[in-house]
Amino acid sequence: MSAPEQNKPILPRSSLNSQSDDPTRSALRILSERRWWFFVTVIVVFSVAIVFVRKQKVIFRATGTLTVDQNAPRVLGSDSEVGALGVQSFMAVRAYYQAQRQILQSRDLAAIVVNRLGLARDERFLGLNNPTRPLSRAQKDVVIASADVVGMMAARVMIEATDDSGVVKVSIEDEDPEVARELVNATLKAYRDRNIDVKRRIVKEASSDLNTIFKRLESEKTDSQNALYNYDRDHDFSDTRRTVVADRILALSRALRDVRMAKLKAAQEVSSLKKFRGSRDVFAASAPGLMRDGLVGELKRRFLELSTKRKDVATVYLEGHPRIIAIDQQIEQLVVLASRHTAAMHDSAVQLATAAASEERDLEAQLSAARTEDDEIRRAKIEHDRLVTSADEDKLFYDKVAKRLTETDIARDIGVNNINILDLAVTPKAPVRPNVQLSLAVGFLLALVAGCAVAAGVSVLDNTIKDREDVEQILGVPFLGSVPFFEQANAEEGLPVPVDRADLYAHYRPHSRVAEAARSMRTNLLFMRPDRPPRTILVTSAAPREGKTATSTTLAITLGASTGKALLVDTDLRKPRLHKLFGLPGGEGGLTSHVLTNQPIENFIRKTDVPGLDLLPCGPLPPNPAELVHSERFRLAVKRLEELYDAVIFDSSPIQLVTEPLVMASMVDGVVIVAQAEVTRRDSAKVVIDGLRSVNANIFGMVLSRTRWRSGGYGYYYANGYRRGGPYTYRYSYRYQRSANLDSDIGGDDPSKDS
């Protein structure tokens, strides 16, 4: 198979059909397939619509209109009045209008209407006057005491207005048109009066708060002015003083610099003279201090002359001669004199360094004191500036509050309003709902839409494998055939099959539809490779209970009948059950016994009651089945079985649960995948196919299990009848029997195998 076919994505059935059918035909086909879903949904939804319309009450709506101006007439000349109504900024107009509409539907306004109209004990408003449900006085009192009348009133107010318009329509619905009109007008008046009350309350609270603030600011202004006066009196931070201190700091800094230079030179002098103090090698020294000293230079010159003279005399006289001794004595005197002078120079340099250090400390103390004084002047200036700023701010705030307090006293008695009632509500003549005809028409349309949606949804969400078209076009693998549902008690096909041996249906009923389907599946397998028919076949599935064991057994029976030498191998190394199916004991060894021991595999093959079919049981369960299947002995066992038999069928574990089938797939001629019709999901089958292709397994094709026979031939039926010029379609049925005695055994794996 080509790479594009192997990577073909799993598509819904509707997607595939849309490639060949136009949208109208696809929709009609879906409605035809899911017609019961469509009809039931339409009937249910339309019935609900009829019941809903019949239970609707006759409702009247009263509407009144008011205007909300951006701001009220400005009486005071200030830019912003205390408690000004409306909004001053153009950018906030929309937000202000939205806020006013929320106020119209607020509990605060509803409480005013409830108090004015006495709705808290109004039985009609609370719905206590219903003649169909009469209540006693005590029951009514309980309802009145627990009712949220304010919330009920607020919920009934409806607002209609645009975002940028100050015209607002207020509507209320009620069964009584007079009551609706009364509630709307009461709401409009309450909203207008509340706006004035809010302004007056704000102005009153502002006046009280401003009085308190005015007294506090007056005290703070006095305190800040007194603090500034006292500080100026106690501190001198004049410019003259700052100049004197700055000059002193400059002079001390320069003097300190000179002293530090002298101290450094003296320290260098001491360091250079220290190693020659008391030394006899003074004339050989290169210390700068010694080289600059005049006496040392003169003594060195005399030393050199005597040294030269001694050399000359030594050429004439021997050592110990009086003249040589006299010269040596003179040289010794020069050395002693130079050494003493060097010590004196060192002591003098030490004294100079000590004096410079003392003077440095004194200058540093004076400079620190001068800088401290300069810092104090600066801090005093900063504090003075802060006190000046504080005094100015306190005076500014005091003046503003004094002016605002005067304006507040004037605005307290002004009653201008930016809310005006444009039209009071009138008594409505016709109800607003229900509109029976429109409601029923809409209900019927909704029922049709819901029916179509449910039918389409069920069709789209049905992601199971149904027929040959799904196997070949969606999954991209060959379709080998299908195994019908095993009907044990079908009198038309022979005697009943034993319940515990239902998977041997084809053996007990060789002329049944199951046997015919198995022979068709065998023929498809053999014709896949006519030159070399497959000898080793692995049968696997995506998940447990999909009919894998029944399919492998049925295929093995058919191959045994045709070849005369077929073997069924139980390679479910975790929960084997083929030995139970054939009535063989499970403790006599099997495939695992051969792999784990050195005994020949022929010792573990068992004869069965089925002609031409032998069985190799699983044997003892290994602790690690995956390791056993990966072993070389297991591979050699598969090769040996291929030599012994014409057809070897391996019944393996579900491929999505364990890894053994993937390993075995590379050892056999090909793999047959079993999927249960209308149960196995396409994505699960695709995972199995991709897994087998990832190990380069040869996939023979897919078999559908538990299909149902329909009239018109096994495995398919004519959808719309066979007529002239009309195409016919076929599919495999997915409805299968679920009786208690057949659910676990017939046509599928043992439930005990499933984890």
Domain boundaries, the chain: 3-56+434-461, 239-411, 471-753
The mean pLDDT of 147-164, rounded to a whole number, is: 85
Q: What is the dihedral of CA 589, 593, 598, 603, to 10 degrees?
A: 30
The mean pLDDT of 158-182, rounded to a whole number, is: 86
Length of the chain: 755
Q: Report pLDDT digits (tens) over 415-436.
A: 567 788 889 999 998 888 877 7
Checking if the pLDDT of 458 tops 90, the result is no
Checking if the pLDDT of 568 tops 50, the result is yes
Q: How confident is the model at residue 670 (pLDDT cuts 50, 70, 90)?
A: very high
State which H helix or E strand residue 475 sits in.
none
pLDDT at position 70, please?
Answer: 72
The average confidence (pLDDT) of the chain is 77
Checking if the pLDDT of 654 tops 80, the result is yes
* Least confidently predicted of 278-292, 678-692, 728-742: 728-742
% helix / strand / coil in the chain, to the nearest 5? 55, 10, 30
pLDDT at position 401, please?
Answer: 82
pLDDT at position 426, please?
Answer: 93
Checking if the pLDDT of 281 tops 70, the result is no
Residue 721 phi/psi, 5° resolution?
Answer: 85, 155
pLDDT at position 668, please?
Answer: 92
Q: Report pLDDT digits (tens) over 14-51.
A: 444 444 457 888 788 788 878 888 899 999 998 998 88
Strand segments, DSSP code E, in 42-182 are 60-68, 157-160, 167-174
pTM value surpassing 0.85: no
pLDDT at position 713, please?
Answer: 38
Q: Report pLDDT digits (tens) over 503-522.
A: 777 777 777 788 888 888 88
The mean pLDDT of 391-409, rounded to a whole number, is: 81
The mean pLDDT of 581-604, rounded to a whole number, is: 84
Given a contact cutoff of 8 angstroms between Cβ atoms, the answer to whether 166 and 67 are in contact is yes
CATH fold, domain 471-753, is Rossmann fold (3.40.50)
Interatomic CA distance for residues 264 and 269, integer angstroms: 9
Instruction: Give the strand order in the sheet containing 670-676.
Output: 479-484, 699-707, 670-676, 536-541, 647-651, 566-570, 613-616, 606-607
Given a contact cutoff of 8 angstroms between Cβ atoms, the answer to whether 592 and 574 are in contact is no
pLDDT at position 181, please?
Answer: 92
Checking if the pLDDT of 603 tops 50, the result is yes
pLDDT at position 634, please?
Answer: 92
Kindly state the percentage of the chain with pLDDT values over 70.
79
Q: How confident is the model at residue 727 (pLDDT cuts 50, 70, 90)?
A: very low
Q: Which long-range contacts does 600-603 make (Cβ < 8 Å, 24+ apart)?
A: 601/637, 601/640, 601/641, 602/644
